[in-house]
Structure 1
Protein backbone atom coordinates (compact mmCIF):
# COMPACT_ATOMS: atom_id res chain seq x y z
CA UNK A 1 0.00 0.00 0.00
CA UNK A 2 1.51 3.30 -1.05
CA UNK A 3 1.67 6.07 1.43
CA UNK A 4 0.78 9.51 0.34
CA UNK A 5 2.69 12.45 1.64
CA UNK A 6 0.69 15.21 3.09
CA UNK A 7 0.47 18.21 0.81
CA UNK A 8 3.16 20.76 1.51
CA UNK A 9 1.89 23.72 3.39
CA UNK A 10 2.46 27.04 1.72
CA UNK A 11 5.23 29.03 3.36
CA UNK A 12 3.90 31.42 5.93
CA UNK A 13 4.23 34.99 4.95
CA UNK A 14 4.25 37.74 7.43
CA UNK A 15 4.59 41.41 7.00
CA UNK A 16 6.80 42.82 9.69
CA UNK A 17 6.40 46.40 10.61
CA UNK A 18 9.52 48.36 9.77
CA UNK A 19 11.82 48.70 12.75
CA UNK A 20 12.04 52.13 14.25
CA UNK A 21 15.20 53.81 13.06
CA UNK A 22 17.75 53.97 15.85
CA UNK A 23 19.21 57.30 16.80
CA UNK A 24 22.16 58.13 14.60
CA UNK A 25 25.58 57.46 16.01
CA UNK A 26 27.27 60.78 16.52
CA UNK A 27 31.05 61.06 16.28
CA UNK A 28 33.43 62.95 18.56
CA UNK A 29 35.96 65.29 16.92
CA UNK A 30 38.90 64.94 19.37
CA UNK A 31 41.02 67.71 17.81
CA UNK A 32 38.25 70.23 18.54
CA UNK A 33 37.39 68.87 22.01
CA UNK A 34 38.79 69.50 25.49
CA UNK A 35 38.44 67.87 28.91
CA UNK A 36 39.99 69.79 31.77
CA UNK A 37 40.08 69.71 35.54
CA UNK A 38 40.78 72.22 38.29
CA UNK A 39 41.78 71.56 41.89
CA UNK A 40 43.43 73.54 44.67
CA UNK A 41 46.91 72.75 45.93
CA UNK A 42 47.82 74.64 49.08
CA UNK A 43 44.94 77.01 48.30
CA UNK A 44 46.17 77.82 44.79
CA UNK A 45 44.05 76.72 41.79
CA UNK A 46 45.81 74.25 39.49
CA UNK A 47 44.46 73.49 36.04
CA UNK A 48 45.07 70.37 34.02
CA UNK A 49 43.68 68.51 31.05
CA UNK A 50 43.44 65.09 29.46
CA UNK A 51 44.98 64.81 26.00
CA UNK A 52 43.45 61.44 24.98
CA UNK A 53 39.79 60.47 25.24
CA UNK A 54 37.02 58.98 23.15
CA UNK A 55 33.25 58.74 23.17
CA UNK A 56 30.53 56.57 21.68
CA UNK A 57 27.34 58.56 21.31
CA UNK A 58 23.92 57.49 20.14
CA UNK A 59 21.83 60.55 20.71
CA UNK A 60 18.93 62.38 19.11
CA UNK A 61 18.22 65.69 20.90
CA UNK A 62 14.52 65.24 20.12
CA UNK A 63 14.44 61.85 21.87
CA UNK A 64 16.98 62.31 24.67
CA UNK A 65 15.62 59.50 26.86
CA UNK A 66 16.60 56.91 24.21
CA UNK A 67 20.17 58.24 24.00
CA UNK A 68 23.33 56.57 25.24
CA UNK A 69 26.74 58.04 26.00
CA UNK A 70 29.88 56.08 26.75
CA UNK A 71 33.12 57.88 27.44
CA UNK A 72 36.69 56.75 28.08
CA UNK A 73 39.69 58.82 29.14
CA UNK A 74 43.31 57.68 29.06
CA UNK A 75 44.44 58.67 32.55
CA UNK A 76 48.09 58.61 31.49
CA UNK A 77 47.35 61.56 29.20
CA UNK A 78 46.69 63.87 32.17
CA UNK A 79 48.89 66.94 32.27
CA UNK A 80 49.12 70.06 34.37
CA UNK A 81 52.02 71.38 32.30
CA UNK A 82 54.81 70.39 34.68
CA UNK A 83 56.81 67.30 33.63
CA UNK A 84 57.73 66.25 37.19
CA UNK A 85 54.14 66.48 38.42
CA UNK A 86 52.80 64.79 35.29
CA UNK A 87 55.17 61.88 35.98
CA UNK A 88 53.67 61.59 39.50
CA UNK A 89 50.08 61.51 38.21
CA UNK A 90 50.52 58.04 36.64
CA UNK A 91 51.82 56.48 39.89
CA UNK A 92 49.68 54.26 42.19
CA UNK A 93 48.86 57.04 44.68
CA UNK A 94 47.28 59.12 41.92
CA UNK A 95 45.83 57.52 38.76
CA UNK A 96 47.69 54.17 38.94
CA UNK A 97 47.68 53.89 35.15
CA UNK A 98 49.59 50.59 35.03
CA UNK A 99 46.77 48.89 36.93
CA UNK A 100 43.73 50.71 35.47
CA UNK A 101 44.72 52.95 32.54
CA UNK A 102 41.31 54.42 31.71
CA UNK A 103 38.46 56.20 33.42
CA UNK A 104 34.99 55.57 32.00
CA UNK A 105 31.54 57.11 32.10
CA UNK A 106 28.47 55.15 30.99
CA UNK A 107 25.12 56.93 30.89
CA UNK A 108 22.12 55.37 32.60
CA UNK A 109 19.62 58.09 31.66
CA UNK A 110 19.43 61.34 29.72
CA UNK A 111 16.81 63.95 30.49
CA UNK A 112 15.97 66.94 28.29
CA UNK A 113 15.61 70.15 30.30
CA UNK A 114 14.68 72.41 27.36
CA UNK A 115 16.63 75.11 25.54
CA UNK A 116 19.40 72.74 24.44
CA UNK A 117 20.13 71.70 28.04
CA UNK A 118 20.27 68.09 29.22
CA UNK A 119 21.03 66.15 32.36
CA UNK A 120 23.09 63.02 31.80
CA UNK A 121 23.16 60.58 34.72
CA UNK A 122 25.53 57.65 34.74
CA UNK A 123 28.32 55.65 36.32
CA UNK A 124 31.76 57.24 36.57
CA UNK A 125 34.57 54.73 37.12
CA UNK A 126 38.10 55.76 38.09
CA UNK A 127 40.69 53.42 39.65
CA UNK A 128 38.06 50.72 40.11
CA UNK A 129 35.80 53.02 42.12
CA UNK A 130 32.35 53.51 40.57
CA UNK A 131 30.01 56.33 41.58
CA UNK A 132 26.72 57.69 40.29
CA UNK A 133 27.36 61.04 38.64
CA UNK A 134 25.03 63.62 37.12
CA UNK A 135 26.48 65.80 34.38
CA UNK A 136 24.69 68.90 33.11
CA UNK A 137 25.26 69.38 29.38
CA UNK A 138 24.40 72.32 27.09
CA UNK A 139 24.29 71.77 23.33
CA UNK A 140 24.75 74.36 20.60
CA UNK A 141 24.88 73.75 16.86
CA UNK A 142 26.58 75.54 13.98
CA UNK A 143 27.60 74.38 10.52
CA UNK A 144 26.93 70.67 11.07
CA UNK A 145 28.88 70.54 14.34
CA UNK A 146 27.26 70.16 17.73
CA UNK A 147 29.21 71.49 20.70
CA UNK A 148 28.49 69.96 24.11
CA UNK A 149 29.73 71.93 27.10
CA UNK A 150 29.41 71.31 30.80
CA UNK A 151 31.08 70.96 34.15
CA UNK A 152 30.60 68.87 37.26
CA UNK A 153 32.22 68.56 40.67
CA UNK A 154 33.69 65.39 42.10
CA UNK A 155 35.58 64.37 45.24
CA UNK A 156 38.99 62.92 44.35
CA UNK A 157 39.15 60.74 47.47
CA UNK A 158 35.90 58.99 46.46
CA UNK A 159 37.96 57.56 43.58
CA UNK A 160 41.18 57.03 45.58
CA UNK A 161 42.94 59.74 43.60
CA UNK A 162 45.70 61.00 45.86
CA UNK A 163 46.11 58.03 48.18
CA UNK A 164 48.72 57.56 50.88
CA UNK A 165 50.33 60.78 52.07
CA UNK A 166 48.20 62.71 49.57
CA UNK A 167 44.94 62.01 51.44
CA UNK A 168 45.59 65.20 53.43
CA UNK A 169 43.10 67.63 51.92
CA UNK A 170 44.88 70.64 53.46
CA UNK A 171 47.62 70.15 50.83
CA UNK A 172 45.54 69.01 47.81
CA UNK A 173 41.83 69.82 48.16
CA UNK A 174 39.30 67.01 47.82
CA UNK A 175 37.09 68.98 45.42
CA UNK A 176 37.84 68.72 41.70
CA UNK A 177 35.95 70.59 39.01
CA UNK A 178 35.78 68.80 35.64
CA UNK A 179 35.01 70.92 32.56
CA UNK A 180 34.50 69.82 28.98
CA UNK A 181 33.85 71.11 25.48
CA UNK A 182 33.14 68.34 23.00
CA UNK A 183 32.76 68.85 19.25
CA UNK A 184 30.45 66.26 17.68
CA UNK A 185 29.32 65.50 14.13
CA UNK A 186 26.32 63.48 13.00
CA UNK A 187 23.86 64.61 15.66
CA UNK A 188 20.29 65.50 14.77
CA UNK A 189 18.99 69.06 15.05
CA UNK A 190 18.04 70.56 18.40
Structure 2
Protein backbone atom coordinates (compact mmCIF):
# COMPACT_ATOMS: atom_id res chain seq x y z
CA UNK A 1 0.00 0.00 0.00
CA UNK A 2 2.86 2.37 0.84
CA UNK A 3 4.37 1.75 -2.61
CA UNK A 4 1.07 2.58 -4.30
CA UNK A 5 0.71 5.84 -2.31
CA UNK A 6 4.33 6.77 -3.00
CA UNK A 7 3.94 6.01 -6.71
CA UNK A 8 0.72 8.06 -6.92
CA UNK A 9 2.34 10.97 -5.08
CA UNK A 10 5.38 10.89 -7.35
CA UNK A 11 3.16 10.67 -10.45
CA UNK A 12 1.08 13.64 -9.27
CA UNK A 13 4.21 15.70 -8.61
CA UNK A 14 5.83 14.87 -11.97
CA UNK A 15 2.58 15.38 -13.90
CA UNK A 16 1.98 18.70 -12.09
CA UNK A 17 5.47 19.92 -12.96
CA UNK A 18 5.03 18.88 -16.60
CA UNK A 19 1.75 20.81 -16.80
CA UNK A 20 3.55 24.00 -15.73
CA UNK A 21 4.27 26.20 -18.72
CA UNK A 22 6.23 29.43 -18.77
CA UNK A 23 4.68 32.24 -20.78
CA UNK A 24 6.74 35.38 -21.47
CA UNK A 25 5.19 38.76 -22.16
CA UNK A 26 4.76 39.64 -25.85
CA UNK A 27 5.93 43.25 -25.71
CA UNK A 28 4.60 44.05 -29.19
CA UNK A 29 1.04 43.20 -28.11
CA UNK A 30 1.02 44.42 -24.51
CA UNK A 31 0.94 47.73 -22.68
CA UNK A 32 1.31 49.05 -19.13
CA UNK A 33 -0.89 52.12 -18.64
CA UNK A 34 -2.01 54.46 -15.90
CA UNK A 35 -4.34 57.37 -15.35
CA UNK A 36 -4.55 59.91 -12.56
CA UNK A 37 -7.09 62.64 -11.95
CA UNK A 38 -5.79 66.14 -12.66
CA UNK A 39 -7.18 69.32 -11.11
CA UNK A 40 -10.18 67.31 -9.98
CA UNK A 41 -11.82 67.66 -13.41
CA UNK A 42 -9.99 65.45 -15.92
CA UNK A 43 -7.29 62.79 -16.21
CA UNK A 44 -3.69 62.50 -17.31
CA UNK A 45 -2.99 59.20 -19.06
CA UNK A 46 0.37 57.61 -19.54
CA UNK A 47 2.24 54.41 -20.06
CA UNK A 48 5.55 52.71 -19.44
CA UNK A 49 7.20 51.67 -22.69
CA UNK A 50 9.76 49.21 -21.31
CA UNK A 51 8.67 46.19 -19.28
CA UNK A 52 9.13 42.44 -19.01
CA UNK A 53 7.40 39.61 -17.23
CA UNK A 54 6.19 36.06 -17.20
CA UNK A 55 3.48 33.69 -16.04
CA UNK A 56 4.32 30.16 -14.93
CA UNK A 57 1.43 27.81 -14.50
CA UNK A 58 -1.14 25.39 -15.80
CA UNK A 59 -3.84 27.04 -17.92
CA UNK A 60 -6.41 24.71 -16.41
CA UNK A 61 -5.56 25.99 -12.92
CA UNK A 62 -4.64 29.66 -13.31
CA UNK A 63 -5.23 30.24 -9.61
CA UNK A 64 -1.99 28.30 -8.98
CA UNK A 65 0.08 30.37 -11.44
CA UNK A 66 3.06 32.53 -10.49
CA UNK A 67 3.44 35.95 -12.10
CA UNK A 68 6.39 38.32 -12.01
CA UNK A 69 6.70 41.64 -13.77
CA UNK A 70 9.31 44.39 -14.06
CA UNK A 71 8.67 47.91 -15.36
CA UNK A 72 11.42 50.38 -16.25
CA UNK A 73 10.23 53.55 -14.48
CA UNK A 74 12.52 55.62 -16.73
CA UNK A 75 10.33 54.66 -19.70
CA UNK A 76 7.34 56.67 -18.44
CA UNK A 77 5.51 58.37 -21.30
CA UNK A 78 2.68 60.89 -21.00
CA UNK A 79 3.45 62.38 -24.44
CA UNK A 80 4.70 65.60 -22.78
CA UNK A 81 8.50 65.51 -22.42
CA UNK A 82 8.85 68.18 -19.66
CA UNK A 83 6.19 66.37 -17.59
CA UNK A 84 7.88 63.00 -18.20
CA UNK A 85 11.21 64.44 -17.04
CA UNK A 86 9.53 65.80 -13.89
CA UNK A 87 7.93 62.39 -13.23
CA UNK A 88 11.38 60.75 -13.51
CA UNK A 89 12.76 63.17 -10.92
CA UNK A 90 12.87 63.10 -7.13
CA UNK A 91 9.37 64.62 -6.78
CA UNK A 92 7.85 61.44 -8.22
CA UNK A 93 9.64 58.21 -9.26
CA UNK A 94 13.25 59.26 -8.57
CA UNK A 95 14.42 56.95 -11.34
CA UNK A 96 18.10 57.69 -10.69
CA UNK A 97 17.78 55.80 -7.38
CA UNK A 98 14.82 53.54 -8.21
CA UNK A 99 14.83 52.64 -11.91
CA UNK A 100 12.49 49.63 -11.64
CA UNK A 101 8.97 48.92 -10.45
CA UNK A 102 8.51 45.27 -9.49
CA UNK A 103 5.45 43.04 -9.12
CA UNK A 104 5.34 39.50 -7.72
CA UNK A 105 2.11 37.58 -7.30
CA UNK A 106 1.18 36.19 -3.91
CA UNK A 107 -2.11 34.53 -4.87
CA UNK A 108 -4.82 34.29 -7.47
CA UNK A 109 -8.48 33.84 -6.64
CA UNK A 110 -10.75 32.41 -9.32
CA UNK A 111 -14.09 34.22 -9.48
CA UNK A 112 -15.39 32.39 -12.58
CA UNK A 113 -13.97 31.02 -15.86
CA UNK A 114 -12.85 34.47 -17.05
CA UNK A 115 -12.47 36.60 -13.92
CA UNK A 116 -9.80 36.48 -11.24
CA UNK A 117 -8.41 38.53 -8.35
CA UNK A 118 -4.64 38.76 -8.66
CA UNK A 119 -2.92 39.58 -5.39
CA UNK A 120 0.68 40.57 -5.19
CA UNK A 121 3.37 42.91 -3.99
CA UNK A 122 4.41 46.03 -5.85
CA UNK A 123 7.78 47.56 -5.09
CA UNK A 124 7.91 51.19 -6.16
CA UNK A 125 10.76 53.38 -5.00
CA UNK A 126 11.73 52.13 -1.53
CA UNK A 127 8.32 50.73 -0.58
CA UNK A 128 6.70 47.31 -1.08
CA UNK A 129 2.92 47.12 -0.64
CA UNK A 130 0.16 44.62 -1.32
CA UNK A 131 -2.12 45.31 -4.28
CA UNK A 132 -5.06 43.49 -5.87
CA UNK A 133 -5.84 43.51 -9.58
CA UNK A 134 -9.15 42.57 -11.18
CA UNK A 135 -8.13 40.31 -14.05
CA UNK A 136 -10.12 39.20 -17.07
CA UNK A 137 -8.67 36.17 -18.84
CA UNK A 138 -9.10 36.70 -22.58
CA UNK A 139 -8.39 33.10 -23.49
CA UNK A 140 -5.80 31.09 -25.39
CA UNK A 141 -4.99 30.77 -29.08
CA UNK A 142 -2.29 29.08 -31.08
CA UNK A 143 -0.05 31.80 -32.47
CA UNK A 144 2.85 31.98 -34.88
CA UNK A 145 5.14 29.03 -34.77
CA UNK A 146 2.44 26.93 -33.13
CA UNK A 147 3.04 28.43 -29.69
CA UNK A 148 0.21 29.02 -27.24
CA UNK A 149 -0.67 32.67 -26.65
CA UNK A 150 -2.76 33.83 -23.67
CA UNK A 151 -4.28 37.24 -23.02
CA UNK A 152 -5.35 39.22 -19.96
CA UNK A 153 -6.60 42.62 -18.92
CA UNK A 154 -5.63 43.64 -15.39
CA UNK A 155 -6.95 46.69 -13.56
CA UNK A 156 -5.89 47.95 -10.16
CA UNK A 157 -5.53 51.10 -8.09
CA UNK A 158 -2.74 52.30 -5.85
CA UNK A 159 -2.42 55.29 -3.55
CA UNK A 160 0.75 57.09 -4.67
CA UNK A 161 1.33 58.42 -1.14
CA UNK A 162 1.76 54.80 0.04
CA UNK A 163 4.87 54.65 -2.18
CA UNK A 164 6.43 57.97 -1.12
CA UNK A 165 5.27 59.74 -4.27
CA UNK A 166 4.13 62.73 -2.24
CA UNK A 167 4.42 65.68 -4.62
CA UNK A 168 1.30 67.85 -4.18
CA UNK A 169 0.63 66.42 -0.70
CA UNK A 170 -2.92 67.81 -0.58
CA UNK A 171 -3.81 65.97 -3.79
CA UNK A 172 -5.59 69.06 -5.15
CA UNK A 173 -3.80 69.09 -8.50
CA UNK A 174 -2.72 65.47 -8.77
CA UNK A 175 -5.01 62.90 -7.14
CA UNK A 176 -3.61 60.41 -4.67
CA UNK A 177 -5.18 57.40 -6.43
CA UNK A 178 -3.58 56.10 -9.61
CA UNK A 179 -5.43 53.61 -11.80
CA UNK A 180 -3.30 50.91 -13.44
CA UNK A 181 -4.51 49.19 -16.61
CA UNK A 182 -2.47 46.43 -18.24
CA UNK A 183 -3.29 44.78 -21.55
CA UNK A 184 -1.17 41.64 -21.75
CA UNK A 185 -0.37 38.86 -24.17
CA UNK A 186 2.00 36.11 -23.12
CA UNK A 187 3.62 33.51 -25.41
CA UNK A 188 4.61 30.01 -24.31
CA UNK A 189 8.34 29.39 -24.28
CA distance in 1, matches of 2:170, 2:10: 61
Partner of 2:170: 168
CA distance in 2, matches of 1:51, 1:161: 20
CA distance in 2, matches of 1:120, 1:61: 15
CA distance in 2, matches of 1:76, 1:148: 24
**Structure with the greater alpha carbon radius of gyration:** 1
SS at match of 1:114: coil
Instruction: Select the residue among 89, 94, 99 that pairs with 1:91.
Output: 89
Q: How much does 1:40 deviate?
A: 1.4
Moved more, 78-87 or 37-46: 37-46
Partner of 2:24: 27
CA distance in 1, matches of 2:158, 2:113: 26
CA distance in 1, matches of 2:89, 2:166: 10
Instruction: Select the residue among 39, 42, 56 that pairs with 1:42.
Output: 39
1:146 and 2:163 equivalent?
Answer: no
1:129 and 2:124 equivalent?
Answer: no
Moved more, 171-180 or 143-152: 143-152
- Give unmatched runs, 5+ long, in structure 2: 1-6, 143-148
1:156 and 2:160 equivalent?
Answer: yes
Q: Is contact 2:73-2:93 (8 Å) kept?
A: yes
- RMSD over equivalenced CA pairs, Å: 2.0
Q: TM-score, normalised by structure 1?
A: 0.83
1:107 and 2:105 equivalent?
Answer: yes
Q: Is contact 2:63-2:108 (8 Å) kept?
A: yes
CA distance in 2, matches of 1:17, 1:180: 38
What's the CA shift string for 1:88-141, capped at 9, x where partnerless? Answer: 111111001111110111111112221221111111110111111111111112
Q: How much does 1:142 deviate?
A: 5.1
What's the CA shift string for 1:151-184, capped at 9, x where partnerless? Answer: 1111111111243xx2230011111111010011
Partner of 1:179: 181
Q: TM-score, normalised by structure 2?
A: 0.84
CA distance in 2, matches of 1:86, 1:182: 23
Q: Is contact 2:54-2:186 (8 Å) kept?
A: no
